[in-house]
Amino acid sequence: MRIIVADCEVVYEGRGLTTLARARRAIIIKSDGAISVHSSYGNKPLNYMPSGAILTVRKQGRKQTWVFANKKESITISIFKIIDEHEYELEKYEVGLVRLRTEDELQAWLAKHPEAIGYGYKFIAREFRTPVGPVDLLVQDSEGNYIVIEVKRKAMIDSVYQVKRYVDSLNLSGELGEVRGIVVSPDVRPNTLKLAGQQNIQCVELVTF
């Protein structure tokens, strides 16, 4: 893989005709011929071509023109100055993305292993109905107190407010006595943890299950 930072102009022809005026950009050329052009912002390339493109290089003084083309499209990059360039050897065979367990799977696992949240915890129900909606899990601690648990793949600040609504609603009705709330997630964000402390909601980060 080659990564080039260059002062360049870009013209694309194929699905349409687009141009990028002269500016400093990053150009990534992969081993299979795929190419993408990037700015400093966003996760998407400004332009790209899939694998199989053939590169032709023309030089005119200090200016270079790189043409990446296949039968259907082409990207022409006019390079006025290469600012930085590196080449890297990556893994030949990429294993690809590994799918992590879902929230539903984590809920099911916690229903069977509530002690992972706290010693002596006992599972009561999944999708327990409250006046403001169903809560993921209802458990009891070793003293018989009820706890509502919301399970998140990634615990953002909204999850704290969600549990707080469940807790406040159940405490107002009084049907379960004094209820506490917990957010359980493999990924608890720092802002979430801070807000949870302010709202008297516990966060449990369950990294493996």
Percent of the chain at pLDDT above 70? Answer: 94
- Residue 63 and residue 18: Cα distance in Å, rounded? 21
- Residue 199 and residue 126: Cα distance in Å, rounded? 24
pLDDT for position 98: 54
- pTM for the whole thing? 0.54
Residues 191, 193, 199, 203, CA torsion sign: positive
Average pLDDT (55-71) is 91
Q: Where in the chain is the domain with CATH 2.70.180.20?
A: 2-87
Which of these CATH numbers, 3.40.1350.10, 3.40.630.10, 3.90.550.10, 3.90.1150.10, describes 103-205? 3.40.1350.10
Nearest residue to 107 (alpha-carbon basis) of 136, 134, 133:
136
Tell me: the pLDDT tens digits for 68-87? 998 889 999 999 999 999 99
What residues have CB less than 8 Å from 170, skipping those under 6 apart?
130, 131, 146, 148, 176, 179
Q: Checking DSSP bridges between strand 2-13 and strand 202-205, what pairing results, if any?
A: unpaired
Whether domain 2-87 has CATH 2.70.180.20: the reply is: yes
Q: Where in the chain is the domain with CATH 3.40.1350.10?
A: 103-205
